[in-house]
Structure 1
Amino acid sequence: MLRKRRNRSREIHTELNITAFMNLMVVLIPFLLLTAVFSQVSILKLDLPGSASDSEQVIDDEQINLEVIIRAERLVLAERRTGVLAEFPASETELENSFKLLNEKLQEVKARREDHRAISILAEPETSYDLIIQTMDAVRVIPPLTTDEIPGELFPDISLGSAPPDPQTAKQE
């Protein structure tokens, strides 16, 4: 006769030890909460262009629309209705000086229009992220002359957009 073998499964009763996991959570959660607060400090506020219905506003004759257009070889400071105000070379060797000159020119504009806070930065598609951030820094604040001074405000309401086609390269073609 055949014997039937019965495999009796042995049940092992063990308790789940979650002490190590709880210790990890006790350390990890406060660390993540603390670092989340510091990451907010480094975020720059931007005003992105809205839809056509948002832009249906009464245009004031005295209102100015400043634009900084980042081109491959130069930075162009322009007013939308009157045209180019100034151009600065954007080669890597002259870039730091160009940002200083741009900031000085914007200080002159701010002296005439103290209530104006908005500016648009228009960049070509191949513009580096670092160049956009440096331009934003140049248009946002007046750098302090000494370490004790608080930086002054220039144009903190920054909008980003795509640069229009370059008229100088269109003429050359």
Structure 2
Amino acid sequence: MRFRRRRSHDTEVELNITAFLNLMVVLIPFLLINAVFAQVSILQLNLPAVNDSSTPTPENEKEKLTLEVLIYTDRYEVVDRSSSAVLKIVKNKDDKHDALALHDFLVELKGKFPKVTAVTLLCEDDTPYEDMIHTMDAVRLYSKEINGQPIKQELFPDISIGTAPPDRTASLGGEA
């Protein structure tokens, strides 16, 4: 038997993209409206600075403040690295770091040293991420009321992060 091949006449087939266009008409505005919710905040952080070998003059040394905030499990310590003086110890409040008390102290300190913009946050290895973020927020900005309007001002915007030295008070049984 002989099979006959039937030649099909080439007919033009039209591509129907109506359903695809309907989908795009609905999907594109939806994605554009929801794109606002996908914002990412980036905070520029630095490594702690190494002390330079230049010797400061006595006039500059008086105004010089190298601020460090040490985050331990039971407290914050605010330290001046240039003089190795502990400026303030902020104990935890209700088993949480008291970022508000730290913030209030740093606002007072900013009044005494208005030109200082750098701070180094030193954390223990097991410091929770949330505690670090709350500390950065407390250190970076403060609200100042001008003409009855709260205005955000920079407190210590140049933040460096590093590892805290071992807790001395933990080895002494909680007494410094």
TM-score, scaled relative to structure 1: 0.69
Amino acid of the residue matched to residue 20 of structure 1? N
Q: Quick check: 1:46–1:160 contact (8 Å CA) kept in 2?
A: no
Greater strand share, structure number? 2
Counting matched residue pairs gives 162
Greater than 6 Å deviation, 4+ residue runs = 2-6
Two-structure CA RMSD over aligned residues (Å): 3.6
CA spacing shift, 1:23–1:94, aligned 2, 3 Å: closer
Pairing 1:114–2:108 present: no
Q: Quick check: 2:145–2:151 contact (8 Å CA) kept in 1?
A: no
Secondary structure of the residue aligned to 1:67 is strand
Secondary structure of the residue aligned to 2:104 is helix
Deviation at 1:104, TM superposition (A): 2.7
CA spacing shift, 1:154–1:24, aligned 2, 3 Å: same
Q: Percent identity?
A: 28
| 1:87 match | 89
Choose from 40, 43, 48 the match for 2:46: 48
**Which runs of 5 or more residues in structure 1 are unaligned?**
none
Deviation at 1:87, TM superposition (A): 0.9
Separation (CA, whole Å) in 1 of partners of 2:162 and 2:102: 19
| 1:167 match | 168
TM-score, scaled relative to structure 2: 0.68
In the TM superposition, what whole-angstrom CA distance separates every residue of 1:15-62 from its partner, at most 9, and x where no partner exists?
2522134224432452355445xx25xx25232217xxx858565633
Q: 1:132-147 maps to which residues of 2 (within 5 A)?
A: 132-144=132-144
